[in-house]
Structure 1
Amino acid sequence: MDKNYRLGIDIGGTFTDALVTDRQGRMVAALKTPSIAEAPERAIFNALDQLQGQGVNIGDIDLFVHGTTLGVNTLIERNGAVTGLIVTQGFRDILEIRRLRLEDTTNLYGDKTEALVPRYLVKEIDERALASGDVLQPLNKDQLVQAVDELVEEGITALAISFMHSYANPAHEKEAEEIIRERHPQLFICRSSAIWPQQREFERTLATAMNAYVGERMGSYFVRLQEGSHQYGLKANLLSTMSNGGIMTAASAASEPVRTLLSGPASGVIAATHIARKAGIDQVITFDMGGTSVDVALIDKEPAYSTENKVGDFPVILPAVDVTAIGAGGGSVAWLDSVGVLKVGPRSAGAYPGPACYGRGGEEPTTTDAYLQLGILQADRFLGGQMRLHPELAERALNTVGTKLGLDASQTAQAILDVATANMYAQFSPLMARKGVDPRDFTLLAYGGAGPMHAFLMAREVGILRVLVPPAPGTLCAMGCTVANLRNDFVLSLHKSSHALASGELASFYADLEQQGRSWVEVEARGGVELESVYCLYSADMRYEGQAFDLEIALTQEEIADPEQAKEKFHAYYYNVFGISQPESEVMFISLRATIVGIVPSHGSVDSYAQVSHGGGAEERTITFDHARRTAKVLTREQIPLEASIPGPVIVEEYDTTIFVPPGYNVRRDAHGNLIGEATE
């Protein structure tokens, strides 16, 4: 019988995670295999080999969704295509000038960010449209042809086109694209009015340049992956995750890779939302701790979104799940500054050489070495016993720092954990204040390879009373691929005051945006995605007339039909944010936004751990924690009782992570297999 498996794969910098679920939503297989930076698809093929070895029939997979860091790594490492840029006459330096803002306003000697497209590969063309969309100067076709010919001679293989006010009138960009495609069909070409047609010339141009820069590499990768996976009998069409938490076909991702740059963290947040909803928890703070960093996101029934994310040195204007890095990860190095103060991170030991305890040549102590020294990690059970750690190397590395502090290895290890937690707290608290939430009202949902090991320490520091660790937390981002829906965002730059809007004009604009979205969904669905339903969300970037910043306001159909209602909603939201409002002032509609969502039929709600009963045979281990020797129970997840609590300290060992529940928390297992720790003090 066709099992209708779903396969989710998340390609990280160190490991590629794979997870398979069946038609009931039960986890069939979960694994981690080393990523291969020079050929990411080979790690996926290795995962398919291992899945077959675990009894998964690849031909039974009917949904294959994956996320990759190929795009973001290409940008960060600056190894993308040789890209040219065509702009309006007079705007050659748009990527050089940026926003004229210092990254660090207190540092007068900061380095200027190097433009993604060097100035000699930027060509100016005589053409001009006004903000109204009216053409001031026609496109100079002869000049365009000469400029592109010169760029091709310089060796470009990708080309971005970004003309002034093309968001209002894309005719010149479309005409230029047609001319260039006919003359140079080998070029990967993208135009700003197709990528993200929003006013804000720098951000729109940059997004287009980024798309061109990574597009050629992403396209060839998808071709190799599609061809190779078919050899394994994989019949499902390839889908890719997006920065906004949705999914799209590989063909769309290859043409618009800029929409996938932040898909890895977004997939984890989407999975966390799914887990929290099934557990009956509305308010969640995600805690994703990997080898390098700790990322957090806020979920209040639904994830928060942002248009102010960054990838390396570059801002990304396209909407993405709002994820913020707040601290160091499991491989972060501990060191002493010039006055002898202990610091942790931001530098990481990475996978190679890695923490000292890996035995790969690393000599500096890390948080992983600290956990091993304290007894929370077991040397012969790391990664399910596949990788042995070396306690003697961890102790030696800790002593290199500890002797300068007058501390032994265990005291140094505790100090490293304390400093790492304090670093997180120092960034976490103001972040929550800016978002206007009290973290004590939220549940901390931990995942990532190191997240479940450190989450309770963070919760204890902040005052969070409940921590949830889902099944297979180390592969949660892969799970996010299997539960995501089709989702895409569309924008219209309007820049009109409410009194200048004609009757029904706002509704007409939104109707056009929704039609764009529904047309996109139809195309994606033909790519092999079965949909249960489709709906649209609406919002607008609004401000008081004369101001220079916007607030995004979610709007209903009724508020769109009556702009006065939309104005009242803006006044109320503005007051909630700033404590004042100006109801007598005119309100501007800067940008209109529509988000189309195609619901992929969900699997059943039965979980793989729901029928597991309490086991026996718990071990005990002596650990050092909070400068005291303690006896900790060492269990597997299945040995945690259903709904009955066990007091900490408890260590739960799993293939992809180790969960540490310190004193002051009780831990239990719910019907979905989640471990839930609750404060007792």
Structure 2
Amino acid sequence: MDTIYRLGVDIGGTFTDALVTNNQGRIVTALKTPSIAAVPEQAIFNALDQLKERGVDIQDIDLFVHGTTLGVNTLIERNGAETGLLVTKGFRDILEIRRLRLEDTTNLYGDKTEALVPRHLVKEIDERVLANGRVLHSLSIEQLLQAVDELVEEGITALAISFLHAYVNPAHEKQAEERIKQRHPHLFVCTSSTIWPQQREFERTLATTMNAYVGERMGSYFQRLQEGIQAYGLKANLLSTMSNGGMMTASSAASEPVRTLLSGPASGVIAATHIAHTAGIEQVITFDMGGTSVDVALIDVHPAYSTDNKVGDFPVIIPAIDVTAIGAGGGSIAWLDSVGVLKVGPRSAGASPGPACYDRGGLDPTTTDAYLQLGILQADRFLGGQMQLHPELATSALHRLGNTLGLDATQTAQAILDVATANLYAQFSPLMARKGVDPRDFTLLAYGGAGPMHAFLMAREVGIRRVLIPPSPGTLCAMGCTVANLRNDFVFSLHQNSQDLAPGELATHFEALEHKGRNWVQEEAQGSLKLETVYCLFSADMRYEGQAFDLEIALTPEEINNPELAKAKFHSHYEHVFGISQAEAEVMFISLRVSVVGVVPSNNSIDHEVEAHQSLDENEPEERMIVFDNIPRTAKVCTRTQIPLDDVIQGPVIIEEYDTTIFIPAGFTVSRDIHGNLIGEMQ
């Protein structure tokens, strides 16, 4: 059988990761190449060149899925399109007023977040739709076109339209969009009723504005990328990952880029879920440690989702996999505060100048310098030997910091790791408490460039007894692209008392959402994907009447057809969350949700046990002197395939791989399962 490949690419701030799997789901090759901020698609072209050099026939790639941080970086760095906003008369300050909540409730002097669209580029339009969808005032076309002409003269290239109650009646938004495109076809125009039609005026307007702000740049990027990969002979349609862990065509992502903002962390969680299911593990905490921070997510059979995520200063209402950034990363800088206390992070050395040992001008010590000083990193084996580290520069930086503390360079390095781990613990423990889980019941699944090196220290601090390191952990987000399914979310704002529901009304609304979702899957898959099946997940945002916050309740078809069963489920879930329920109180159905999933056929059918035995490395592990916990120790140094399948190795063990270094300290054992995962167990 001819070899057919799947290609996953994850564009990060420092490196662009590429991973290729074959018909059987086996990793054929994985690589990292430097990201190029000015022309991000060039890093993908460089990766394709390297894949060709490694013997991968580009024309045999039938699935190409990629994720990029271009959209989220555009928002954070505030370098998107000059964007205008059209709103209903009287709502010009909706982006300025926000929710009138303090970002930090303990700080009364916090700075106000600057609106994404300045006030002079927000135009009020005479029109009004009521909450029941009835038109109170017709749209003034003359005023609309005059406002847009003025905005174009101001230099806008993108335009967001968000009219009051457009979620229930989008007629005015559609009319405005049609007339504007006729008059100004060069403008990137988007409407709130298309982007996310939910009854939360600020969040809906903000999501639409963010989409316009990054849309023009994302659209031109996808166009350049599509033209470039065609020149390489790559015939597969270009797909992009989404914040919800699914994927969509590049053309859809170009028109709705706001759905891709958190796709990088989401791809990692999807890959982690796939790894956990293959290994037969249901409860997992992901530990994705990069250069700046650690991304943490919960998987209890399935990943947790949230509609309360943030990108930079902005809340995102569109559903995404629930990922929280905590603590410090591999490039976090160690420093002393005003009273001489050692701190690590939040400032990061990044890729340039990077840690002191990179010899790129960085003078401050980082956690990477600490690992090098302790002997856990090897100077001539970093990134598979492609990048030389400089131990003398790490020692010098650590010595300068340690002088003030009365510590030598090695003691300072250990102190940095201790403080970094304490930072993680201080944020990790309350996060788990808020989610209502005991982390000791979970497996810590570590990936990212620095995750496998620090995960066991974190597990030791928290009391987590098992750590799993998957194959190619440094490129796991790219792997997530190869195992993702088509997935999209749809919402309908009902905001109705359950007693006022007409018979069958709930089912009618859900059927309409399901129909929209299945049509979306059919359009996305047409000509590019063959799907095994398509299914839908149903839920409703519910609350007691008079309350301001909702609980999302998953619903079965039986509960949808019988609202009384749905209400009973809400009461039960409310009591589970808050320890009390109000069975006599009336229940509101606020929003109805449908997630539609088009399942891409799995290519994971290889006999992993045979493959694992065939690749076993019979060479004896090396030994290296390290210092850890301020004690000189002898550590075994080996590759993944030198770890036995039917036996365990006692820590300390250092496992060196192309994309990361794995450190198993004393007190843990490590073994390898038939899928190639490394399993560390606390003794």
Which bracket does the TM-score occupy, shorter chain normalised?
over 0.9
| Correspondence for 1:338 | 338
Say yes or no: does 1:543 pair with 2:543: yes
Q: Larger deviation: 176-185 or 240-249? A: 176-185
Residue aligning to 1:251: 251
Distance 2:167 2:208 in 1: 13
**Structure 2: which amino acid aligns with 1:231?**
A
Instruction: Provide the residue aligned with 1:123 in structure 2.
Output: 123
SS at match of 2:464: coil
Distance 1:656 1:624 in 2: 23
Q: Distance in 2 between matches of 1:147 and 1:472?
A: 53
AA at the equivalent of 1:122: V
Distance 1:85 1:614 in 2: 61
SS for the counterpart of 1:8 is strand
Q: CA deviation at 1:178?
A: 0.8
Amino acid at match of 2:399: N
Aligned-pair CA distance for 1:611: 3.4
SS of 1:328 mapped into structure 2: coil
Corresponding residue for residue 93 of structure 1? 93
In the TM superposition, residue 401 of structure 1 has moved relative to its aligned partner by 1.2
Contact 1:456/1:662 (<8 A) preserved? yes
> Residue type matched to 1:2 in 2?
D
Give the alignment partner of residue 677 of structure 1, picking from 674, 677, 680.
Answer: 680
- SS of 1:72's equivalent in the other structure is helix
Any idea what SS the aligned residue of 2:654 has? strand
1:633 corresponds in structure 2 to 636
**In the TM superposition, what is the alpha-carbon distance from 1:4 to its structure 2 partner?**
1.5
2:186 maps to 186
Shift of 1:24: 0.1
Aligned to 1:666: 669
Q: Which residue in the other structure is 1:304 paired with?
A: 304
Q: 3-state DSSP class of the match of 2:568?
A: helix
Q: Secondary structure at the match of 2:538?
A: strand
Match of 1:448 in 2: 448
Q: What SS does the corresponding residue of 2:671 show, helix, strand or coil?
A: strand
1:14-29 correspondence runs (5 A): 14-29=14-29
Give the distance between the partners of 1:188 and 1:643, measured in 2 at CA.
59
Matches within 5 A, 1:185-264: 185-264=185-264
Q: Deviations over 1:169-205 (max 9, x none)?
A: 0000001111111111111100000000000100000
Amino acid in the other structure paired with 2:642 = Q
Say which SS state the counterpart of residue 531 (structure 1) adopts. coil
Task: Quote the Cα distance in structure 1 between the aligned partners of 2:612 and 2:319.
Answer: 35
User: What is aligned with 1:612?
Assistant: 615
Q: Structure 2 vs 1, CA of residues 21 and 504 (structure 1 numbering), >3 Å: closer, same or farther?
A: same
- How far off is 1:112 after superposition? 1.0
The match for 2:486 is 486
Counterpart of 1:409 in structure 2: which amino acid? A
Pairwise mapping of residues 4-153 of structure 1 onto structure 2 (< 5 A)? Answer: 4-153=4-153
1:283 is aligned to 2:283: yes
Instruction: Name the SS of the counterpart of 1:62 in structure 2.
Output: strand
Map of 1:438 onto structure 2: 438
**What do the CA deviations read for 1:117-167 (whole angstroms, capped 9, x no partner)?**
111111000100011111111101110011011111111111100000000
Contact 1:610 1:672 in 2 (8 A): no
| 3-state SS in 2 of match to 1:615 | coil
Distance 2:640 2:616 in 1: 11
**Residues in 1 aligned to 2:518 and 2:138: alpha-carbon distance in whole angstroms:** 33
Cα contact 1:249–1:527 (8 A) shared by 2: no
Residues 50-91 of structure 1, C-alpha deviations (whole Å, 9 max, x = no match) = 000000000000000000001001111111111110000000
Distance 1:66 1:197 in 2: 27
Alpha carbons of structure 1 residues 611 and 589: separation in structure 2 relative to 1, 3 Å:
farther
After superposition, give the CA deviation of every residue in 1:483-539 in whole Å (9 maximum; x if it has no partner). 000000000001011111111000000000000100100110115122110000000
Q: Is this contact kept in 2: 1:610–1:673, CA < 8 A?
A: no
1:344-359 counterparts in 2 under 5 A? Answer: 344-359=344-359
Mark the runs of 5 or more structure 1 residues left unpaired by the alignment.
none
Q: Find the aligned partners of 1:232 and 1:130 in 2 and give their Cα distance.
A: 53
Q: Which residue of 1 aligns with 2:385?
A: 385
Q: Note the C-alpha offset of 1:364.
A: 0.4
State how 1:598-609 maps to structure 2 within 5 Å: 598-606=598-606, 607=608, 609=612
How many residue pairs are counted as aligned between the two chains?
680
Deviations 1:257-315 (A, max 9, x none): 00000000000000000000000000000000000111100000000000111111111
Shift of 1:2: 3.4
Partner Cα separation in structure 2 for residue 75 and residue 515 of structure 1:
33
The Cα shift of 1:658 comes to 0.2
Tell me how far apart the structure 2 counterparts of residues 582 and 359 of structure 1 sit (CA, whole Å): 63
1:624 to 622, 627, 635: 627
1:373 aligns with 2:369: no
Q: Distance in 2 between matches of 1:609 and 1:340?
A: 51
Alpha-carbon shift at residue 612 of structure 1 (Å): 2.4
Residue by residue over 1:339-377, the C-alpha shift from the partner in whole angstroms, topping out at 9 and shown as x without a partner, is 111000000000000000111111101000000000000
Whether the 8 Å CA contact 1:64–1:239 is kept in 2: the answer is yes
Q: Under a length normalisation based on structure 2, what TM-score does the superposition of the two structures give?
A: 0.99
CA distance in 2, matches of 1:260, 1:389: 35
Q: CA deviation at 1:399?
A: 1.0
1:609 deviates by: 3.9
1:538–1:555 CA contact under 8 A, matched in 2: yes
Q: Separation in 1 of the partners of 2:442 and 2:618? A: 31
Could you tell me how far apart the structure 2 residues matched to 1:664 and 1:95 are? 53
**Separation in 2 of the partners of 1:366 and 1:482?**
33
Amino acid at match of 2:283: Q
1:652 equivalenced with 2:655 (yes/no): yes
- SS at 2:106's partner residue? coil
1:110 Cα deviation after fit: 1.6
> Residues of 1 paired with 2:534 and 2:584: CA distance?
38
Q: By how many angstroms is 1:424 displaced?
A: 0.4
Residue identity matched to 2:578: F
Cα distance in 2 for partners of 1:23, 1:614 equals 24
- CA contact under 8 A between 1:648 and 1:662: conserved in structure 2? yes
- Counterpart of 1:643, as a letter, is D
Q: Quick check: 1:571–1:583 contact (8 Å CA) kept in 2?
A: yes
Distance 1:610 1:529, change over 3 A: farther
CA RMSD of aligned residues (A): 0.8
CA distance in 2, matches of 1:37, 1:535: 38
SS at match of 1:554: strand
Q: Aligned partners of 2:30, 2:407: CA distance in 1, in Å?
A: 41
Whole-angstrom CA distance in 2 between matches of 1:434 and 1:546: 24
Deviations 1:220-252 (A, max 9, x none): 110100110011110000000000000000000
Is 1:266 aligned to residue 252 of structure 2? no
CA distance in structure 1 between the partners assigned to 2:214 and 2:599 by the alignment:
29
Instruction: Summarize deviations over 1:16-54 as a string: whole Å, max 9, x none.
Output: 000000010011110000000000000000000000000
Native 8 Å contact 1:615 1:640 kept in 2: no
CA contact (8 A) 1:488 1:597 kept: yes
AA matched with 1:116? L
1:585 alignment partner AA: A
Q: Distance in 1 between matches of 2:409 and 2:530?
A: 56
Distance 1:162 1:565 in 2: 36
SS in 2 for 1:45: helix
AA aligned opposite 1:305: Y
Q: Are the counterparts in 2 of residues 269 and 480 from structure 1 also a CA contact under 8 Å?
A: yes
Identity %: 79
Q: d(CA) in 2 for partners of 1:60 and 1:379? A: 37
Offset, 1:610: 5.7
Q: Could you say if the C-alpha distance between residues 344 and 184 of structure 1 is closer, same or farther in structure 2, counting changes exceeding 3 Å?
A: same
| 1:283–1:300 contact (8 Å) kept in structure 2 | yes
Q: Secondary structure at the match of 2:614?
A: coil
Q: Secondary structure at the match of 2:327?
A: strand
